[in-house]
Amino acid sequence: MAIQWTSDLATGITTIDDQHKELFARVNKLLAACSQGRGKEEVGNIIGFLEEYVVTHFADEEKLQQESGYPEFAAHKRLHDAFKSDLAKLKDEFEAEGPTLRFVVLTNRVVVDWLMKHIAQVDKAFGNYLRKA
**C-alpha distance from residue 5 to each of 75, 115, 128 (Å):** 25, 11, 19
Percent of the chain at pLDDT > 90 equals: 41
For CA atoms 9, 12, 13, 19, the dihedral sign is positive
Confidence check: pLDDT of 87 > 80: yes
CA 32 to chain centre: 16
Residue 105 pLDDT greater than 80, yes or no: no
For 15-132, which CATH class? mainly alpha
Mean pLDDT value across residues 9-20: 92
Which residues, 6+ apart, have CB-to-CB distance to 90 below 8 Å?
A: 47, 103, 106, 107, 110, 111
Q: How confident is the prediction for the chain on average, in pLDDT? A: 87
Examine the pLDDT at 28 and tell me if it is beyond 90.
Answer: no
pLDDT at 67: 96
Winning range, highest mean pLDDT, from 18-22, 66-70, 105-109: 66-70
